[in-house]
Amino acid sequence: MARGHSVRTVLLIFATVLTGWTQAQFSGRVTNSITGLPVAKATVRLAPVAGRAGYVRTSGAAGEFRFEGISPGDYRLGMERRGFSPVVHSAGKGVPGGSVIHLTAGQNLADLDLLATPLPIVTGTVTEGPGEGEPVPRAIIEILAQRWSIAGRWYEEIDTAANDQGQFRAPELEPGRYYFYARRPDEGPLTEVVKDASGKGEVCLAGVYYPNAPSIEGASAVEVRAGQEVTGIGLRLAWSPCFHARGRTTGPDVEEVQMIRRRQDTPLPWESREADRATDGTFDIPGVVAGDYLVSAIGHRGPKGPAQEVTVESRDLEGLAVSGENVSFNARVQVEGDGAPPLSSVYLLLETVTGPGNARFTTVPVQPDGTARLGRITPARYTLAAGSSQGGVYVKSVKAGPEEWPSPVLDFRGGSPPELEIVVGLGTGQVQGTVQWPDPSEGAVPVAAGDAMRAVLVPQESRAGIRGAWFAELDQNGAFTFSEIPPGKYFVFAAANLEEALWMNREFIGLVQGSGAPVDLPEKGNVQVEAPVLPAAVAQRAMESIR
């Protein structure tokens, strides 16, 4: 009996030691990136990159946390704490912003500092009338950020705020530059269009951009930094002349007509007016202030037919003809290369270029005879990519008739495009590498400790069928991998705190390409590269020159 007990004890000890050899440990502490003070009661998460269950711990009074018994693998690191950004940066191990942790069997990754960024707070007021004006109860505040896409700049709605006293508070913004737009409430007497007292026409409470500009061209951005409290954002709504837009719409299933303010050809959806389509097809949109607009027919699934550019000046807009007919997409596809997959396994992917946050995706399957057709697609701008259930394919060329399509953007806003000839190639590859850290003896590190660093791959020249950029996270050793990359010439960067959409802007790429590492990837190639760190000052100068 004693012998059996001894054997079981030895086996238990052996199993415990073996478990320690096959599992990993991870510990560190959470600190405020501004003050350096510990952050207690923060929820720290290790989320597996490839499935399985994750791990959660709560930081102690000194910000400390410890994970034990972790299965080896790759994990994304996250942190949650009220008043702090959910994006956590690691300052330890010489890898700023290494958000993917690679843990091996028996590894003990200790003393990793996680820098939690305190969120800024922005407050302000909305009034109407002359002088200081009266507060506007339940005024709507749209908080906007300028973004970029492969087709140029656009604006994204980040948040909305309102209260009963005409005051607003935006406490959950990430550090950055923002525009503030105020508009009349969604209900109540201030929403109404009224007759001007002089009898000259109708007036309504028009929206305004900070600092009290009637259009976004006159708006000023407010820069908010981590942990900063910005006060005194004052917006004054004014009663302004407004007009009607009237006309008739055609097409099936049209429910209403919408007018959206535009900056050149970029829609500003927070400045919109709409009206139902009458049974005879007519519409009458009231309360439209002077400006440039896009007019579209709307069905229960969204926009239908091409958007029409119009300008409202000093009188009602009459006789608009708005089409609710969508366009068709037609292409012929062939696959080049040895071991080509069957055409029925290939598909085309169309993505709108209004920006990653608002992008819509449409998948067009390729038929066995090589045709790819979609009878009803929203007239818009798209980028094109190819995929296959077997992987490894990319768009090699796009032609409209005998000519190469000249742009990475397919513009279908003017109606049905011509039939496209698309050649799909085989042999995507990989780009792997590590960050090339600057020598500290030669000067200051070009990014702040704890900044969110990522690797970025961009084509040296853009063309139809090639994405604008690829992104890869760094592990704690500063290593990265880009997979399923079409053959071609690229630049590789390591960059901090830059939004993805900025890398779609070719003007920006032209200004910073000298800070990237050139790469020439052959078919089915695997290229190793050292990615230099893009200095924050270089990125900032480039952004300022294209704003």
How many CB atoms are closer than 10 A to CB 208? 23
Same-domain check for residues 151 and 291 = yes
For residue 15, the model assigns a pLDDT of 41
Domain end point (choices 306, 323, 340): 323
- Confidence band of 92 (pLDDT split at 50, 70, 90): low
For residue 29, the model assigns a pLDDT of 92
Q: How far apart are CA 115 and CA 89, in angstroms?
A: 5
Q: In a 10 Å sphere around its CB, with 0-12 CB exposed, 13-18 middle and 19+ buried, how is residue 538 labelled?
A: middle
Same-domain check for residues 58 and 147 = no
Among 93-107, 159-173, 243-257, the range scoring the smallest mean pLDDT is: 93-107
Same-domain check for residues 158 and 201 = yes
Mean per-residue pLDDT for 252-263? Answer: 93
Domain end point (choices 267, 295, 323): 323
Which of 143, 103, 146 lies closest to 120, judged by CA? 143
- Its pTM stands at 0.80
Same-domain check for residues 54 and 92 = yes
For residue 11, the model assigns a pLDDT of 42
- List the end-to-end C-alpha distance of the chain, in Å, as a whole number: 81
Domain end point (choices 116, 148, 179): 116
Q: How far apart are CA 20 and CA 17, in angstroms?
A: 5
Q: How far apart are CA 275 and CA 247, in angstroms?
A: 11
Provide the phi-psi class of 374: left if phi over 0, else alpha when psi is between -120 and 50, else beta.
beta
Taking 80 as the threshold, does the pLDDT of residue 200 lie above it?
no
The DSSP 8-state label assigned to residue 12 in this structure reads H
For residue 516, the model assigns a pLDDT of 95
- Confidence band of 32 (pLDDT split at 50, 70, 90): very high
354 versus 247: the higher-pLDDT residue is 247
For residue 390, the model assigns a pLDDT of 83
Mean per-residue pLDDT for 229-244? Answer: 93
Task: State CA 300 to chain mean position distance.
Answer: 25
For residue 9, the model assigns a pLDDT of 46
- Mean residue pLDDT of the chain comes to 85
Same-domain check for residues 14 and 77 = yes
What residues contact 422, with CB distance under 8 A and at least 6 apart?
331, 332, 333, 334, 348, 372, 384, 386, 395, 397, 398, 399, 465
Same-domain check for residues 400 and 493 = no
Mean per-residue pLDDT for 118-132? Answer: 87
CATH of the domain at 45: 2.60.40.1120
What residues contact 162, with CB distance under 8 A and at least 6 apart?
138, 139, 140, 141, 168, 185
How many CB atoms are closer than 10 A to CB 232? 8
The domain tally of the chain equals 4
Q: Are 307 and 295 in contact (CB under 8 A)?
A: yes
Same-domain check for residues 445 and 541 = yes
Q: In a 10 Å sphere around its CB, with 0-12 CB exposed, 13-18 middle and 19+ buried, how is residue 257 labelled?
A: buried
61 versus 440: the higher-pLDDT residue is 61
Mean per-residue pLDDT for 205-224? Answer: 93
Distances (CA, A) of 95 to 40, 434, 448, 499: 23, 11, 11, 19
Q: How far apart are CA 423 and CA 386, in angstroms?
A: 10
Distances (CA, A) of 334 to 84, 331, 454, 519, 541: 51, 10, 36, 28, 44
Same-domain check for residues 398 and 262 = no
For residue 94, the model assigns a pLDDT of 42
Taking 80 as the threshold, does the pLDDT of residue 221 lie above it?
yes
Range of the domain at 344: 327-426
**What would the pLDDT profile of 321-331 be if each residue is shown by its tens digit?**
999 888 888 99
Same-domain check for residues 336 and 198 = no
Q: Are 520 and 461 in contact (CB under 8 A)?
A: no
Among 97-111, 179-193, 272-286, the range scoring the smallest mean pLDDT is: 97-111
Structure tokens at 515: 């800070």
Same-domain check for residues 304 and 403 = no
Q: What one-letter code names the amino acid at 33?
A: S
For residue 13, the model assigns a pLDDT of 41
Same-domain check for residues 298 and 419 = no
Taking 90 as the threshold, does the pLDDT of residue 288 lie above it?
yes
DSSP secondary structure, 368-395, as one string: TTSEEEEEEE-SSEEEEEEEETT--EEE
Q: Are 242 and 204 in contact (CB under 8 A)?
A: yes
Q: Are 260 and 269 in contact (CB under 8 A)?
A: yes
Structure tokens at 54: 């994750």
For tokens 């890898």, the residue is: 95
- Confidence band of 270 (pLDDT split at 50, 70, 90): very high
Taking 90 as the threshold, does the pLDDT of residue 88 lie above it?
no
Same-domain check for residues 38 and 112 = yes
For residue 359, the model assigns a pLDDT of 67
Which of 133, 136, 95, 140 lies closest to 114, judged by CA? 95
Q: What one-letter code names the amino acid at 199?
A: G
